[in-house]
Structure 1
Amino acid sequence: MPDAPILQVSGLNVFRGATHVLKDVSFEVARGELVALIGANGAGKSTTLLALSGLLPARSGTARMTTDEGTIELTRASTETIVRAGLIHCPEGRQIFQSLSVADNLALGAYARTDKDWIAQTTEEVYRLFPILREREKIPAGALSGGEQMMLAMGRALLGAPKLLLLDEPSLGLAPKVIDTIFDVIAELKARGVTILLIEQNAAMALEIADRAHVMEHGRITLSGTGASLMENDRVRQAYLGVSA
């Protein structure tokens, strides 16, 4: 069962230039829970993650992350402080270092860690989860396929020791077989107790794996429930699951 909230977002408003993108967004993520945000392109999902990561300023509202080490206000903290607190963002588009090797990209994920044994063990765990990365560890990351780059981005995120892992569109543009691999790993991470906030264009897969989910439309959360209940919701089925009325 999910534990106490690790993330509490309340009344979050974010602008991009003059455009009001997030409008009084409020939700929680409990420890050990996987929460999904679904919605059309431009609904505000990625903006939500950028704001939580300190990469976009909030005009108003709060976003608090609480761990055993204490509570930080994400809308006021620096990105470095946020990362060191354990909020790790695996962004849309991967954003790997293309000229660096696979191994060096993974090492950069652990830049805030000092325990060499932990880094070595976690690197081995990433190679277990994504065996192809071990085969490719010495080649430039830019030479990887799109699916391999996504695996690398997720592996790099795991080396940040996430207490809250933000995954932004992990299946975007990938072949079905690779998507299955990615979601198998997400399911394993969830089973191990990793707390995950997931944005995913494939609403069916997101809802199937989510404990709870929220529908975002035009910068607002318009519908919330368990993953299972939203899969049975007629509006969600028609708008996001491709089921005719």
Structure 2
Amino acid sequence: MLEVRDLHVTRGATEVLKGISLEVLEGETAALIGANGAGKSTTLLTLSGLLRAKSGTVRFEGASGSIDLTKLAAERIVGEGLVQCPEGRQIFHSLSVEENLSMGGYLRRDRASLGSSIEEVHALFPILKERAKAAGGTLSGGEQMMLAIGRALLARPRLLLLDEPSLGLAPQMIERIFDVIETLKKRGTTILLVEQNAAMALDIADRAYVLENGRITLSGSGRELADNDRVRQAYLGIAS
């Protein structure tokens, strides 16, 4: 579904991504782990069209067929089915929960079925139905994360990008968010997950990559990387 080849991305005078290659197959959950500043969020922003690649290709099996995302504007990429749930949630604080969710479907042509899609999100996150009329900014951090994921799902993603969904959340809420990711995985949603909580990311991932200083240094199944001594020491806090 997604094939990234030799992707180089520069931000200002700094080359952040130095020729990374990765792939995500349809129905997989893939994880991208690494330290702060490794280039994880830059990767997702580039896939989403919010940053431009210096060179390389990003092939995606979108709604209109196989396309190179590096040549498309961000709104066209969403329309093709690659949808990002951004780091920091970035909900509209002054809009209601209901209005925030509806914004996720702004490119959909099947507007008549938007209501039933919102009900599906409510089934995943009942609190969003209870607080439908509340302003987004009044929600807790965990509830805002639920809202951000729900908004992304309203765009009917073929590939869902999740950028640090556990960031700043209490342990109980992190468990809840990962339960939802597991549910989406079981439903066949294709996911690319960027996550600081490497242990939980690798536990849920079919495929995983380690990004260090703008380069992919290790790849394999989630289990293989979780059992790798270097990953265990550097990212899981386990001595060899």
Superposition TM-score, scaled by structure 1 size: 0.96
Please, which of 76, 85, 92 is the counterpart of residue 81 of structure 1? 76
Structure 2: 5+ residue stretches without partners: none
SS at match of 1:84: helix
Contact 2:63 2:81 in 1 (8 A): no
Q: Could you list the per-position Cα deviations for residues 60-92 of structure 1 after superposition, in whole angstroms to 9, with x for gaps in the alignment?
A: 000010136312211110111100000000000
Superposition TM-score, scaled by structure 2 size: 0.98
Alignment of 1:17-28 (within 5 A): 17-28=12-23
Alignment of 1:1-245 (within 5 A): 6-67=1-62, 69-245=64-240
Contact 2:97 2:132 in 1 (8 A): yes
Contact 2:96 2:134 in 1 (8 A): yes
Q: Deviation at 1:120?
A: 1.3
SS at match of 1:196: strand
Q: Could you list the per-position Cα deviations for residues 95-144 of structure 1 after superposition, in whole angstroms to 9, with x for gaps in the alignment?
A: 10000000000000000113234311110111111111111110110011
What is the aligned-residue identity percentage?
65
- The amino acid that maps onto 2:16 is V
SS at match of 1:133: helix
CA distance in 2 between partners of 1:67 and 1:57 (Å): 19
- Over the aligned positions, Cα root-mean-square deviation in angstroms equals 0.8
- The amino acid that maps onto 2:15 is H
CA distance in 1 between partners of 2:111 and 2:63 (Å): 22
* Cα 1:208/1:116, change in 2 over 3 Å: same
Q: Deviation at 1:42?
A: 0.3
Deviates more, 1:65-74 or 1:126-135: 65-74
SS at match of 1:238: helix
Q: Could you list the per-position Cα deviations for residues 145-188 of structure 1 after superposition, in whole angstroms to 9, with x for gaps in the alignment?
A: 10000000000000000000000000000011111110011001
